[in-house]
Amino acid sequence: MFDESPPPQTRAPARTDTAYRVLARKYRPQTFSELIGQDAMVQTLGNAIRRGRLAHAFLMTGVRGVGKTSTARLIAKALNCVGPDGQGGPTIDPCGVCEPCKAIAEGRHIDVIEMDAASHTGVDDVREIIEAVRYAAVSARFKIYIIDEVHMLSKNAFNALLKTLEEPPAHVKFLFATTEVNKVPITVLSRCQRFDLRRISAEKLADHFAHVIEAEGVAAEPDALKLIAQAAEGSARDGLSILDQAIAHAELGGGGEGERALVTAGQVREMLGLSDRGAIRRLFGLILEGRGEDVLRAMADQHELGVEPLAILRGLMEIVHAVTMAKAGRRHDDPIQSAEEREALADWASQLGFAPLHRLWQLLLKGHEEVSRAVMPMEAAEMALLRIVHAASLPDPSDLARMLSQGGGFAGAASAPAAESAPAAPPAPASTMPASFEALVKRLWDGNHALVADEMEHLIRPVRYEPPELDFQPVRPMDRETIDRMKQAIDAVTQARWQLSAVGGDAQPSLAERKAAEEEAAKKAILETPVLKAAMEAFPDAELLPIDDDAKWSASA
């Protein structure tokens, strides 16, 4: 017997029994417990089903890929499930094994009609639904109409549907899904029970992708899954599509037969054209230091690695936003942030004031807009970064206003950076300095710096007052921007350069605390006098009140 089969190198590959299904379809949720990130909606539906309070129309809205159509199919299964024994009723946990459950999952149930409003937008399509709802369901408990992207129906189609939607037969349920709920007429919204499906958090998506990776027999670095979850922007479908691509990318990387493909963070970053977070932090540091040549070199290095200029600017904007939020006191635990990155953000937050951060944000926002519509994106990005570098060396608007008010003119304002780097001016004669902290605050009041004077009275506890130096303890946490504002006002009224330092050690009470203590002591002394004691005994409900700002007290019944 001769082997007539083709030689190994020409043998056709073995055919699989079933075609490959992409992950977004393969792992579509089949039960409400598999629907991630929508716990509030599931609880509401479960309570409604258990209490028999079922609406006749449901509207699911949310961004792409959060499970709107999947939720509609799950509701259809929940309402029509009969259980393994065929005797069950509506349930939030459909069995998945009865004929209605299997038919709905496979899209072949005669009483569950799906319609894509993007391709059936006219009134004639809606008229077919209106004619069909009069007839009872063939084999299911409810006849269900699922209309996807319902906002694309025409105005006439919506109007034709209104009456039926308001008073449908008891055996009919409408399930609508849309990504643009603002385009659905209010008359339709008022007739539906609305569910807003939330974006899925990056943490939940990464956990979900880890289960998918395990089920697919593939390995992945945790950071790679976090990158994919971030890129998905809250959409499970988008994330699974990216994961599908990442697995294919990893498999193309080679490996011996039988070895599991490994999805790495580097491969995902390269595949998505993402910038390296460490490189973006270094670029941000160079911008703050005003090193234009190094900024351009770092930009070119990222561009050679395939990172798009828009991605670089977006990465810089994310850093500025994160630093500003850290300075404002809001904790933002990004799953991708390393300990090193959190430390760098905290360091920048302690050094930068809100004004420079807002200015950086505006400059980056303008640069991002320019690059997005530029004919030469790389060149536009370089110009935008150079503009930020040079703007960083300019004085703040408040400094410019102070210089102009002091007669420095535009020449003085333009030379402000040079003046800051020049040696400090000699201190003013001691005879012109306020003799005490109280005198310093009074001079601020007299010099039309009422806001700073009030802050000094209420927020500063003096530790050491030796003009032109002031060591203090803040009454409550104080940022550098507030201290700088105080220093500028004191410099202006004393014509000297002061040094304000927040320190530890024993501190005197603030002027406001001192005044409150003196008023309390005066009040107590008055209450101890025999006349007041007798008056208070005669009139127990009387109280002692000040009659003017100098805390002269008067008894009032």
Does the domain at residues 277-391 carry the CATH identifier 1.20.272.10? Answer: yes
Reduced to 3 states, what is the DSSP secondary structure of residue 337?
coil
The pLDDT value given to residue 350:
83
Distance CA 15, CA 175 (A): 40
> Could you tell me which of 251, 174, 257 has the C-alpha nearest to residue 219?
251
| Residues 119-133: b if buried by 16+ CB within 10 A, e if exposed | ebbebebbeebeeeb
CA distance to 255, 339, 347, per residue, from 330 (Å): 45, 17, 15
- Say which residues have a Cβ less than 8 Å from residue 206's Cβ, sequence separation at least 6: 222, 225, 226, 228, 229, 335
Reduced to 3 states, what is the DSSP secondary structure of residue 194?
strand
Burial class (CB in 10 A: 0-12, 13-18, 19+), 343: exposed
Distance CA 82, CA 97 (A): 9
The pLDDT value given to residue 413:
43
For residues 205 and 241, the answer to whether their CB atoms sit within 8 Å is no
Distance CA 402, CA 407 (A): 9
Positive or negative, the Cα torsion across 166, 169, 171, 172?
A: negative
> What residue ranges do the domains of the chain occupy?
23-196, 202-272, 277-391, 394-423, 430-508, 512-556
Q: Look up the CATH architecture of domain 202-272.
A: Orthogonal Bundle (1.10)
The pLDDT value given to residue 347:
84
Distance CA 459, CA 509 (A): 10
For residues 3 and 53, the answer to whether their CB atoms sit within 8 Å is no
> Could you tell me which of 198, 268, 281, 197 has the C-alpha nearest to residue 229?
268
Its pTM stands at 0.57
Residue 146 pairs in a beta bridge with: 114, 175
The pLDDT value given to residue 369:
92
The pLDDT value given to residue 14:
44
Residue with tokens 């009140």: 545
CA distance to 18, 228, 272, 334, 391, per residue, from 243 (Å): 21, 7, 11, 20, 41
The pLDDT value given to residue 172:
92
The pLDDT value given to residue 399:
56
The pLDDT value given to residue 380:
92
Distance CA 348, CA 144 (A): 56
Distance CA 165, CA 153 (A): 14
Q: Look up the CATH architecture of domain 430-508.
A: 2-Layer Sandwich (3.30)
In tens digits, the chain (557 residues) has pLDDT values of 444 444 444 444 444 456 778 888 888 888 888 888 888 888 888 888 888 888 899 999 988 888 888 889 999 999 999 988 888 888 888 888 899 999 998 888 999 999 988 888 888 888 888 888 888 888 888 999 999 999 999 999 999 999 888 888 889 999 999 988 899 999 999 989 888 888 888 888 989 999 999 888 888 888 888 888 888 888 888 889 989 888 888 765 454 555 678 888 878 877 776 656 778 888 998 888 888 888 999 888 888 877 888 888 988 998 899 888 888 877 655 555 666 777 888 888 888 888 888 888 999 999 999 998 989 999 999 999 999 888 755 555 555 555 555 554 444 444 444 344 334 444 444 457 898 999 999 998 888 888 888 888 988 999 889 988 898 988 888 888 888 888 888 988 888 888 888 887 788 999 988 888 888 888 788 778 887 777 777 777 777 666 654 445 544 44
The CATH number for 23-196, chosen from 1.20.120.1080, 1.10.3720.10, 3.90.950.10, 3.40.50.300, is 3.40.50.300
Distance CA 238, CA 24 (A): 8
The pLDDT value given to residue 144:
92
